[in-house]
Amino acid sequence: MSPHRIHFNSPRAAGRELANMARALESGHISGDGEFTRKCRDLLKQELGATDVLLTTSCTHALEMTALLLELKPGDEVIVPSFSFVSTANAFALHGARPVFADVRPDTLNLDERRLEELITPRARAVVVVHYAGVGCEMDAILAAARARGVAVIEDNAHGLFGKYRGRWLGTFGAAATQSFHETKNFTCGEGGALLVNEPRWRARAEILREKGTDRGRFFRGEVDKYSWVDIGSSYLPSDLLAAFLLAQLEQRAAIQAKRKALWHGYRDGLADWAAARGAQLPVIPAHCESAYALFHLLLPSAEERDALMAHLKARGISSVFHYLPLHLSKMGRTFGGQPGQCPVTESVCDRLLRLPFHNGLAEANQAEVIEAMRAFRPG
Ligand SMILES: *Cc1c(COP(=O)(O)O)cnc(C)c1O
C-alpha cells in the first residue's frame, strides 16, 4: 500500500461507466468504432466544432498520426517545447523528423512565442504547442509566425480540453490537435486519446491512417462496396469498451470542470499570501485565457526548497510530484543537438516545479489539509 493518504492522482468513475460497458458488451460490438465511439466523437465534435474527431488509443498515437499527415521526410524539422512530455517530440522523431527544442515563457510555461521565429528554418515543417496545465499558448502570435513561414501548427492539447483562448476552444487553432484520456487527465478511460482534425484537407486521410491504411470507414458508410489497402497506416482505434467508459466521463464534463476549477481556486486562494512570503510563484492564467484546470503547480525559489517541501508533505502522508525534465537535455534530446543553456527557462523551472494533489475525487477536507501542511513548511 502507498504510504500516502492524500494521493496526487486517483482516477474516479463519474457515474455510468460500468453500465455503459455492460451495454457495449450486450450489443455484441466491443471492437473499435461502435456506438460509444460514435457518441464520444459526436459529443466532442459538436461541443468543439472541429472538422472531425477520431478517438485513438492514446495522445501519443494521435501525435504520431499528425506526423504521418505532415508527410515528414528525413531532415524535416518540427519545433517542440523542451518543457513537455516525451511524446510531444518522440512522435515526430519516430517518423524521421528532427525535433528543434523551443524554450517556454516564465509565466505560463508555454512555448515562448517571442522566440519562435528565430527557430523556424527552411527545413521546419511544423510547430507543436502544449497548453501547459490547460492554459492557452499565445496562439495569435504563434499562428501568425507559422503562417508567414508556411509551417503547420499542431496542438498537443493533452491538458487543454475545454479550455479557451480569446473565447475559442483550445484544440481548434492548429491544423490538428491531440487529446489524452490517460488516467492522469481530466477525463479518462485508463488509456485513450483523440485526434481533432481542423484542416479539412487532412480529414479523409486521417480516417485511413487510423484504420490500418484501409478505406474501411468509407465502406461502413456505404460509399464504397468493399474496402482495401489504399495508404500506409496503423491501428489507432480504441475498443468500444473504452469509449463506453469515456462517454460517461465526457457527459459529466460540466460537473468535472466545475470541481477542478473550485480546487484550483481553493489552492490559489489558500496559498497566495504564503507564496508571496516564500517567494514561490503560483500559476498564471492571463485574462484572455480560460483554463482547463488540468493541474495545480507552483515554482519554488530553489530545487533544494522544492525537494524539502516534497519531503515535508510526504512525511504528512501527502503525495506531491514534480513534472517534465528538459527534453533537450535528455539522452535522446542530446542526439538531436540539445545542449545545456539552450532553453534556460525550461532548465530553471524543471528543478523547482511541484504539483499538488489534484483530481476529480479530491475531497475539500483533504485539500484543506494539503494547504495547511504547505503553510506549516519552514525550509532550512
Ligand atoms: C499525457 C500527455 C501526453 C501523452 O498522452 P498519452 O495519452 O498517455 O499518450 C502527451 N503530451 C502531453 C502534454 C501530456 O500531458
Atom of ligand 1 nearest to the CA of 185: 1
**Residue partners of 95: CB distance under 8 A and separation at least 6:** 64, 67, 68, 72
pLDDT band of 352, cuts 50, 70, 90:
very high
User: Residue 242 above 50 pLDDT?
Assistant: yes
User: Residue 284 above 90 pLDDT?
Assistant: yes
**Residue partners of 130: CB distance under 8 A and separation at least 6:** 81, 83, 84, 85, 88, 110, 111, 137, 155, 156, 158, 159
Distance 175 CA to ligand 1 centre (A): 18
In sequence order, what E strands does the chain have? 52-56, 77-81, 98-102, 124-130, 152-156, 164-165, 168-169, 176-180, 193-197, 289-290, 297-299, 353-355
**Residue partners of 213: CB distance under 8 A and separation at least 6:** 229, 230, 231, 232, 233, 234
How many degrees, rounded to 5, is the angle at CA 113 between CA 111 and CA 117?
Answer: 115
**Atom 8 (ligand 1): residue with closest C-alpha?**
182
d(CA 86, CA 267): 28
Distance 340 CA to ligand 1 centre (A): 25
Query: What is the rounded average pLDDT of the residues 110-127?
Result: 98
Query: What is the pairing mode between strands 152-156 and 176-180?
Result: parallel
Distance 305 CA to ligand 1 centre (A): 28
Strands of 289-290's sheet, edge to edge?
168-169, 164-165, 289-290
Ligand 1 environment, Cβ below 6 A: 58-60, 84-85, 87-88, 130, 156, 158-159, 180, 182, 193
Distance 88 CA to ligand 1 centre (A): 8
Atom of ligand 1 nearest to the CA of 179: 7
Query: What percentage of the chain has pLDDT greater than the value 90?
Result: 98
Question: Using one digit for the tens of pLDDT, what is the confidence trace for 217-240?
Answer: 999 899 999 999 999 999 999 999
Atom of ligand 1 nearest to the CA of 159: 15
Burial class (CB in 10 A: 0-12, 13-18, 19+), 372: exposed
**Atom 6 (ligand 1): residue with closest C-alpha?**
59
Cα distances (Å, whole numbers) of residue 42 to 30, 50, 54, 55, 218: 18, 10, 10, 11, 17
Atom of ligand 1 nearest to the CA of 88: 11
Query: What is the rounded average pLDDT of the residues 272-290?
Result: 97
Query: What is the pairing mode between strands 124-130 and 52-56?
Result: unpaired
Distance 222 CA to ligand 1 centre (A): 35
d(CA 283, CA 319): 19
pLDDT at site 183: 97
Q: Decide: 283 and 133 in contact? Cβ < 8 Å.
A: yes
d(CA 145, CA 285): 23
**Atom 5 (ligand 1): residue with closest C-alpha?**
59
* Assigned CATH topology for domain 253-375: Aspartate Aminotransferase, domain 1 (3.90.1150)
Q: Looking at the chain, which residues constitute the CATH 3.40.640.10 domain(s)?
A: 17-251
pLDDT at site 4: 83
Query: What is the rounded average pLDDT of the residues 122-150?
Result: 98
- Mean pLDDT, the chain, as a whole number? 97
pLDDT band of 378, cuts 50, 70, 90:
confident
Q: Looking at the chain, which residues constitute the CATH 3.90.1150.10 domain(s)?
A: 253-375
Atom of ligand 1 nearest to the CA of 181: 7
Query: What is the rounded average pLDDT of the residues 259-272?
Result: 98
pLDDT at site 24: 97
- C-alpha cell of residue 234: 496503423
pLDDT band of 1, cuts 50, 70, 90:
very low
Distance 281 CA to ligand 1 centre (A): 25
Query: What is the rounded average pLDDT of the residues 169-179?
Result: 98
Instruction: Report phi then psi at 301, rounded to 5.
Output: -65, -30
Instruction: Give residue for cell 492514446.
Output: 58
d(CA 205, CA 286): 36
pLDDT at site 2: 54
Query: Residues 320-337, buried b or exposed e (16+ Cβ, 10 A)?
Result: bebbbebbbbbeebeebe
User: Residue 3 above 80 pLDDT?
Assistant: no
pTM above 0.85, yes or no: yes
Q: Decide: 101 and 327 in contact? Cβ < 8 Å.
A: yes
Question: Using one digit for the tens of pLDDT, what is the confidence trace for 95-104?
Answer: 999 999 999 9
pLDDT at site 379: 74
Question: Using one digit for the tens of pLDDT, what is the confidence trace for 42-65?
Answer: 999 999 999 999 999 999 999 999
State the first-to-last Cα distance of the chain, in angstroms, to the nearest integer.
30
CATH no., domain 17-251: 3.40.640.10
Instruction: Give residue for cell 504528512.
Output: 316
Distance 379 CA to ligand 1 centre (A): 33
d(CA 84, CA 241): 30
Query: What is the rounded average pLDDT of the residues 4-15?
Result: 93
**Atom 2 (ligand 1): residue with closest C-alpha?**
158
User: Residue 380 above 90 pLDDT?
Assistant: no
- Which one of 84, 182, 321, 327 would you pick to mutate in the ligand 1 pocket, going by the greatest count of ligand atoms within 8 A of its CB? 182
